[in-house]
Amino acid sequence: MVKRKSFLLRLDPGTYEALRGWADDEMRSVNAQIEFLLRRSLRDAGRLPKKRGKSKEQPAGGE
């Protein structure tokens, strides 16, 4: 099982509600939505270390 790091994140209520709506639309929890967005941003910026083997992240189409 993958070990995860926990930390506190403070958001203003408007940002949280926008994230919650987006997460609901994509059938994710707010936490999973934030993690998805952070991973995608890190990958796009070339700052995410390359993993060996297959990636578990699904394409945007959900396939």
Q: What is the mean pLDDT of each run of 10 residues along the chain (63 residues)?
A: 91 98 98 96 90 59 47
The reply to whether the predicted model has a pTM over 0.75 is: no
Task: Identify the pLDDT of residue 55.
Answer: 52
Task: Identify the pLDDT of residue 57.
Answer: 54
CA 62 to CA 56: how far, in whole Å?
12
Task: Identify the pLDDT of residue 54.
Answer: 58
Please list, residue by residue across 9-47, b when 16 or more beta carbons sit within 10 angstroms of its beta carbon and e when fewer do.
eeeeeeeeeebeeebeeeeeebeebbebeeeeeeeeeee
Task: Identify the pLDDT of residue 1.
Answer: 82
